[in-house]
């Protein structure tokens, strides 16, 4: 069984659309768990009719995803950002792909929605970087068996870079399944703050993290660029 876990915070404007897109998967038995981090809007009310579980957890994506995993019934977990859309038949792509490749975790390629032409280039670079390094970011739809999720220690409880830190740990257990089917990721962050400004910010933060910078300080630098 596959469980999709969606951490969210103040996503009332879009959470219903995200969950409605998952309705065909729910009809095939996929569980959908929404984990709210203390929204100040009506995210929870919008999500309740469209998910199997809507729960609250301490604010922080890592904390919320770990809480959702603990409540999930599935033996395969998929972590999905609230502004992302999975490809059609994502459930079958994951289960068939893991079984066929004999792997225990993986992610999708991405495409960025938006009107800026450079968003296509950025998506291509994201996909190439992930294939080269076997490191994935949260908007690539990380999926993993529950057994490996628990063996790897779950998401580290840090305020930023939890996805990169976790997938680096997962590499010790084996290479990921890189699905070329693309999930659609909102380009709103790049369009709001500027494409190149956002790219340079993320490169700088990741480089500082690679050098050993404290994720708490990195989160403070990133805070003004949140949506």
Residues of the chain falling short of pLDDT 50: none
Q: In this predicted model, what pLDDT tens digit does every residue of 27-36 receive, in sequence order?
A: 999 999 999 9
- Say if residues 7 and 51 touch (Cβ distance below 8 Å): no
Instruction: Say which CATH topology domain 2-192 has.
Output: Spore Coat Polysaccharide Biosynthesis Protein SpsA; Chain A (3.90.550)
Q: In this predicted model, what pLDDT tens digit does every residue of 68-89 receive, in sequence order?
A: 999 999 999 999 999 999 999 9
Q: What is the pTM of this model?
A: 0.93
Q: In this predicted model, what pLDDT tens digit does every residue of 127-146 receive, in sequence order?
A: 999 999 999 988 999 999 99
Q: What pLDDT, on a 0 to 100 scale, did the predictor assign at position 211?
A: 87
Q: What pLDDT, on a 0 to 100 scale, did the predictor assign at position 115?
A: 78
Q: What pLDDT, on a 0 to 100 scale, did the predictor assign at position 188?
A: 76
Question: How far, CA to CA in Å, does 102 sit from each of 5, 76, 98, 174?
Answer: 23, 14, 5, 10
How do 143-145 and 76-79 pair as beta strands?
antiparallel
Query: Which H or E run contains 33?
Result: strand 31-36
Structure tokens at 19: 């969950």
Domain positions in the chain are 2-192
Question: How far, CA to CA in Å, does 162 sit from each of 3, 129, 137, 138?
Answer: 20, 18, 9, 9
């Amino acid at each position: 069984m596959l469980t999709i876990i969606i951490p969210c915070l103040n996503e009332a404007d879009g959470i219903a659309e995200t969950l409605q897109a998952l309705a065909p998967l729910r009809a095939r038995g996929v569980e959908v768990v929404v984990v709210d981090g203390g929204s100040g809007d009506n995210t929870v009310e919008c999500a309740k009719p469209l998910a199997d579980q809507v729960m609250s957890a301490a604010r922080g994506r890592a904390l919320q995803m770990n809480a959702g995993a603990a409540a999930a019934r599935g033996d395969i977990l998929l972590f999905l950002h609230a502004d992302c859309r999975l490809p059609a038949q994502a459930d079958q792509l994951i289960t068939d792909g893991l079984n066929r490749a004999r792997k225990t975790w993986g992610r999708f390629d991405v495409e960025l929605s938006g009107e800026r032409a450079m968003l296509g280039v950025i998506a291509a670079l994201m996909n190439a970087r992930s294939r080269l390094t076997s490191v994935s970011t949260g908007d690539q739809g990380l999926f993993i068996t529950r057994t490996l999720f628990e063996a790897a220690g779950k998401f580290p409880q840090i305020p930023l870079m939890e996805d990169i830190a976790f997938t680096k740990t997962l590499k010790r257990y084996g290479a990921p399944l890189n699905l070329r089917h693309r999930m659609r990721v909102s380009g709103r962050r790049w369009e709001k703050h500027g494409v190149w400004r956002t790219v340079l910010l993320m490169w700088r933060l990741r480089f500082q993290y690679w050098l050993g910078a404290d994720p708490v300080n990195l989160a403070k630098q990133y805070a003004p660029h949140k949506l």
